[in-house]
Structure 1
Amino acid sequence: MLANQPQAIRIDESRMVMYALSEKGEMEIPLNPTCRDEQYLKQIREMLSMHVLGSPSGYLQHIWSRMGHLSNENLEDLLLLGEPDAVVAVAYSSELTDELARKVWWALEDAENARQMLRSPQIVQGDMGPVLAAFLVEFLPFETEAEKIMDTMQLVLQPGLLEPAVVEDLWKRGRRKNAFYVGFLATLPDTLPGAAGQLSPHPEWHETLREMADQGNRLAALLHRVMSSSGQIWLATFRQVLEKPGNQDVVNRSLEVAADYFSAARPEGKADATLEELSEEAGLWVNDRGNALAQQILDMDSTLTEKLRALRVLSGSGYGLVRPVFGRTDAIGTLMRRKLQPVMEPYLKYVAQLLA
């Protein structure tokens, strides 16, 4: 098998079979232990390591000795050790290519590997991107942790990975588990299902705000975005998630997504403040005559003061809002929502300010 220059090797420990991937296809060799299985497999891997790396100590020594300067050739070597952890090391490498990803996937089909590889733009744009995304979509019913569902959704919804019908189906699943929606809010904020073809609820502002945006007013661009049909669907979905979040992970991730969405209203960077602090600061901010971007919008329509204030408050979304609650409890479900009510009720009023 080794003489045929394999591209990757994996060992099925339950069936005691060693497989190799070559240019001609897949090869296999039955393993016949002459001692305890664990000892036999250790000897097999030491033999592979000696052949590939010149040392029986395996991939760990190899990794540490080359930390920070692993080349594609080094990574290819790790795939020949029949060692799952070595395969994971390749999946996490910044030097991963689409071809290496294909070999990694053959060696170890694993949801965490798929998620990690889809964090690389090169893999997303390559042949393996849709393959990994399809696997993760099929695996979603088996995911029980909201954090992993949200991670998966953000990754598989990247452009070009899924067919429109699959995206639509995932959107529908959000009705039963709103962690799905968080991925949509983060990855497809301006193209959420249902937004196409709808008219802006404020056509009288539409052109003027766009002209301001074209002239460099980022606040006008944000307000134009928020008050468009797609922005209104984003806000309604965001409110739906925060009205009934399942656990603290969903709340925290949703607030992080909101901070990114409204970031144009806070060019100095993310905040770490309570809602009371954000509300007070936003009032001063919107009334500051030196705030030229806001004043240009108010000169167009002075009734937009509260909407601009809402933009500023929501741009400060983050853990600071919920720290007074989450810092004292690890509650989930109904109990968590009840404890959050004093924060979420006034927070969602700012969301409502922007809904037509």
Structure 2
Amino acid sequence: MELSPEDSLRLNVMLANQPQAIRIDESRMVVYALSEKGEMEIPLNPTCKDEQYIKWIRETLSMHVLGTPSGYPRHIWSRMGHLNTENVEDLLLLGEPEAAVAVAYSNELTDETARKVWWALEDAENARQMLRNPAIVAGKMGKQLAAYLVEFLPFETEAEKIIDSVRLVLQPGLLDERVIQDLWKRGRRKNVFYVGFLATLPDSLPAISSANRRYAEMTVGLRAMAANGNSLADLLERVLSAAGQLWLATLGQVLEKPGNQDVVNSALDVAADYFSAARPEGKADATIEELDAEARYWVEDPGNVLVQQILDDFPQMADKLHALRVLSGSGYGMVRPVFGRTDAIGTLMRRKLQPVLAPYLGYVKLLQE
């Protein structure tokens, strides 16, 4: 390994000044370092092919940081938060993008460390990962990362990543109301945006709606039951409220015209969480027909105390309780008979899903009547 004398000297001076992070621009052949005083750069003077020279540069950095030229230990479970090093920030001195990703996934991530990671590698996946950390959401970096993801959304092509980004940036305190409204409006053209809203802001979607026509006559009684521990009454009151009716209408919009299988699966998972109080035993894995049959028995079971308490005061709610129970079973089990046999998207997928989504959306609309 023979770095040019000029590069060797500059690297050693840079390292002696205890940089906070290092990144390498391989296309321009420049090494950048972040320090308390700002940013410095070292234009490289290769003595061989660029690719080999960059390898030597990284070996020099690795020898300084880890005591070995072998570089970032890729066998570490970096994306599971399992970093076997005393100071995770040391990895930011390797000039390795994957090492920066490992720090972003670290359980030891702080707001200050997130600032250094972001300087080392501005990347949408890095931003999403760091915004899963409550300390980052509450810190100075939270808003910066959220702003980046909002600006990057037009370039995202995968539904799952769009949903994840929207869900994460909608966490409290990250965006101002104007930006939230703009994201909501994008859902009119691309309803995958709505799935993130349904997950993160279920009770405060940014639109106007009216409560169910039965809400006023039932709210006092349902709230009294909920105060006495009836979680099902609490869910029913939530669903009948103006916020709940808007949530149902939005779920309907998503599932009436989903773009691909990821949108369907994500929407169903969000629905399972929303209606979970109607299924305290945990998530189901069943077809729509199986859920319908089981829900009928569940409502009629005299031993089902929570249901019977509601029906004693509001016997007309049997069909709505039935719907709550079916929807609480939302999940892949419902669409497995279709998705297990096809990878269709768009119009063809929606046509194949009709036997599942038509009755499913019927239950959604029943709760709006």
Normalised-by-shorter TM-score class: over 0.9
Change (3 A) 1:226 1:170: same
Give SS of 2:65's match: helix
Match of 1:263 among 256, 259, 276: 276
Q: Give, in whole Å, the separation in 2 of the partners of 1:199 and 1:347.
A: 21
Report what 1:150 is aligned to. Answer: 163
Change (3 A) 1:277 1:63: closer
Report what 1:89 is aligned to. Answer: 102
Structure 1 residue 74: deviation in Å?
2.2
Give SS of 1:20's match: strand
Report what 2:65 is aligned to. Answer: 52
Q: Does 1:239 align with 2:239?
A: no
Map 1:161-310 to 2 at 5 A: 161-195=174-208, 201=213, 202-310=215-323
Map 1:30-69 to 2 at 5 A: 30-60=43-73, 63=76, 68=82
Report what 2:138 is aligned to. Answer: 125
Tell me if structure 2 keeps the 8 A contact 1:7–1:22: yes
Match of 2:129 among 113, 116, 120: 116
Structure 1 residue 92: deviation in Å?
1.1
Q: Does 1:329 align with 2:337?
A: no
Q: Give, in whole Å, the separation in 2 of the partners of 1:191 and 1:147.
A: 22
Q: Give, in whole Å, the separation in 1 of the partners of 2:202 and 2:338.
A: 28
Deviations 1:289-341 (A, max 9, x none): 11111111111111100000000000000001001101100000000000000
Give SS of 2:73's match: helix
Structure 1 residue 176: deviation in Å?
0.5
Match of 1:18 among 13, 31, 37: 31
Structure 1 residue 63: deviation in Å?
4.1
Give SS of 2:109's match: coil
Q: Give, in whole Å, the separation in 2 of the partners of 1:63 and 1:100.
A: 19
Q: Give, in whole Å, the separation in 1 of the partners of 2:239 and 2:354.
A: 25
Change (3 A) 1:233 1:64: closer
Report what 1:312 is aligned to. Answer: 325
Q: Which amino acid aligns with 2:203?
A: D
Q: Give, in whole Å, the separation in 2 of the partners of 1:93 and 1:195.
A: 41
State which drifts further: 304-313 or 203-212. Answer: 203-212
Q: Give, in whole Å, the separation in 1 of the partners of 2:297 and 2:84.
A: 52
Tell me if structure 2 keeps the 8 A contact 1:168–1:193: yes
- Quote the sequence identity (%): 75
Structure 1 residue 70: deviation in Å?
3.8
TM score, norm. by length of structure 2: 0.93
Structure 1 residue 40: deviation in Å?
0.3
Q: Give, in whole Å, the separation in 2 of the partners of 1:116 and 1:286.
A: 42
Structure 1 alignment gaps of length 5 or more: none
Tell me if structure 2 keeps the 8 A contact 1:178–1:241: yes
Q: Which amino acid aligns with 1:164?
A: E
TM score, norm. by length of structure 1: 0.96
Q: Point out 4+ residue stretches in structure 1 off by more than 3 angstroms.
A: 61-65, 67-71, 198-201
Tell me if structure 2 keeps the 8 A contact 1:53–1:62: no
Q: Which amino acid aligns with 1:345?
A: A
Q: Does 1:355 align with 2:361?
A: no
State the aligned residue count. 353
Q: Give, in whole Å, the separation in 1 of the partners of 2:107 and 2:212.
A: 42
Tell me if structure 1 keeps the 8 A contact 2:20–2:116: yes
Deviations 1:50-74 (A, max 9, x none): 0111110111169479x94645x52
Structure 2 alignment gaps of length 5 or more: 1-13
Tell me if structure 2 keeps the 8 A contact 1:154–1:183: yes
Structure 1 residue 75: deviation in Å?
0.9
Structure 1 residue 199: deviation in Å?
5.1
Tell me if structure 2 keeps the 8 A contact 1:200–1:206: no
Tell me if structure 1 keeps the 8 A contact 2:198–2:251: yes
Structure 1 residue 200: deviation in Å?
5.7
